[in-house]
Amino acid sequence: MGRRQWRCFHCDDVFRSERSASEHFGSDDGARPACQIKAHEGHLVRYIRDLEDRLITYMTDSHPQLQAIMTLEGEHAAALRSEEEKGYERGVRDMKALGYRTEAA
């Protein structure tokens, strides 16, 4: 079995590494190939591909800031439940102290 390679049907260039193929074709199925962007400089294509990758990261749950927000929301929800349970227990304790009977389970 030969080495893996990718060929662009627009410009007929052959890419032998995944990195160079990804740079030419983009990391998303909807991305335009570099030869169709008509970039005169290779660094411009690399810059565009980097921006595309960042955008995909921002749009998914894998972005570090989004992960931090979800962690804080979870911690806040857990703390809120804990305080509600403490308030309920305090109410039951106060009710018993006043002589009210509670149903034993």
Residue 102 lies in a domain: no
What is the reported pLDDT for 65? 81
| Number of Cβ atoms within 10 Å of the Cβ of 9 | 7
**Residue ranges making up the domain that contains 31:** 6-59
Instruction: Decide if 52 contacts 28 (C-beta within 8 A).
Output: yes
pLDDT tens, residue by residue, 35-87: 887 655 667 778 888 888 888 877 777 778 888 888 999 999 999 999 999 99
In this structure, what token pair is assigned to residue 27? Answer: 């990391």
pTM: 0.40
Asked if residue 16 is part of any domain, the answer here is yes
What digits encode the pLDDT tens for the residues 12-21? Answer: 899 998 888 8
Number of domains in the chain: 1
